């Protein structure tokens, strides 16, 4: 072998070694990233299992995206989700959230919230509905509710949480974003109380306390919207609760990570303890 061929052979060997090293490095980075996500998920599950939510009475439904029991099967990133299960252990009457139409199912995103999974709604027709229509008997006392949501809203206008009598202007609770701001859509379409913080594209914790005396929305633990109310919220519902949709009318492009729904107004210390739990789990600063 002459000198020229020897140089070419060494060049090919060197090139192969470089390619091998790059492959090893890429594989190492991928494995490292996967390991970090697995550690985050394991930590989130531990935080969930030890959370104060289990000790606070009055849970109607609790959905979240980190527990294995939240879904009926494992999902790859980008898979459609037909059901997310109620994690409430206070009752055997579970209120899951479902969507039987594939085109309207949100997508499972493995690491969309601080490296943790969430459900992505497209803002076109994606919507999940409670598996039962809540009545006054199932939802007593029906005049008081507290709702927690960990969510990122990406569209300008729309209702992202709603329950009411289908097709009728009756007392209801609805949470919506309008001109980038939070507000109640309750009751009977009245939405005069509006927040002041632009929430579009931000990962936030929303707490809504709705009762016959007043309605208040907290944003990351700080009061954002409040108003007086005199309408009793006595429900005889013929429609399910809708999240990130509006019972076939309006839809919101958003990413949802967790929602806890109580059938009463929580005490201040109870509300704050849940907000602190959610903030720790999802990496959101609580004021």
pLDDT in tens, 181-220: 888 775 544 556 788 899 999 999 999 887 767 788 999 9
Count the Cβ atoms, other than its own, within 10 Å of residue 138.
Answer: 16
Domain residues of the chain, as ranges? 1-50, 56-282
Instruction: Name the DSSP letter for residue 10.
Output: H
pLDDT above 60: residue 168: no
Q: Which residues are 223's β-sheet partners?
A: 218
Q: Highest mean pLDDT: which of 11-15, 118-122, 195-199?
A: 118-122
| Residues 6 or more apart in contact with residue 20 via CB below 8 angstroms | none
| 259: region left, alpha or beta (phi > 0 left; psi from -120 to 50 alpha) | beta
Domain 56-282 coded CATH 1.20.1530.20? no
The more confidently predicted of residues 213 and 10 is 213
The predicted pLDDT at position 26 comes to 60
Which residue, 204, 205, 202, 211, is CA-closest to 274? 205
Confidence of residue 137 (pLDDT cuts 50, 70, 90): very low
Q: Residues 37-66: pLDDT tens digits? A: 788 899 999 999 999 999 999 898 999 999
Report the range of poorest mean pLDDT among 46-60, 126-140, 147-161, 170-184: 126-140
């Amino acid at each position: 072998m002459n000198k020229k061929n020897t140089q070419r052979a060494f060049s090919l060997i060197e090139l192969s070694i470089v390619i091998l090293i790059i492959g090893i490095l890429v594989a190492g980075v991928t494995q490292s990233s996967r390991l970090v996500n697995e550690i985050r998920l394991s930590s989130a599950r531990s935080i969930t299992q030890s959370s104060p939510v289990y000790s606070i009475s009055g849970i109607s439904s609790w959905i979240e995206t980190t527990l294995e029991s939240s879904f009926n099967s494992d999902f790859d990133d980008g898979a459609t989700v037909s059901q997310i299960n109620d994690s409430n252990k206070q009752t055997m009457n579970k209120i899951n959230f479902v969507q039987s139409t594939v085109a309207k199912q949100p997508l499972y995103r493995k690491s969309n919230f601080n490296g943790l999974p969430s459900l992505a709604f497209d803002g076109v027709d994606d919507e999940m509905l409670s598996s039962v229509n809540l009545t006054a008997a199932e939802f007593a006392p029906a005049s008081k509710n507290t709702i927690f949501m960990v969510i990122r809203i990406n569209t300008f206008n729309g209702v992202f949480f709603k329950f009411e009598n289908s097709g009728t202007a009756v007392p209801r609770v609805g949470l919506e974003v309008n001109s980038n701001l939070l507000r109640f859509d309750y009751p009977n379409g009245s939405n005069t109380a509006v927040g002041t913080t632009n929430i579009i594209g931000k990962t936030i914790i929303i707490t809504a306390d709705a009762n016959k005396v007043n309605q208040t929305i907290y944003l990351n633990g700080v009061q954002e919207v409040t108003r007086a109310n005199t309408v009793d919220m006595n429900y005889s519902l013929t429609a399910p609760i809708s999240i990130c949709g509006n019972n076939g009318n309006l839809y919101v492009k958003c990413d949802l990570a967790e929602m806890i729904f109580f059938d009463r107004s929580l005490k201040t210390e109870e509300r704050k303890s849940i907000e602190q739990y959610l903030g720790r789990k999802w990496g959101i600063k609580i004021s």
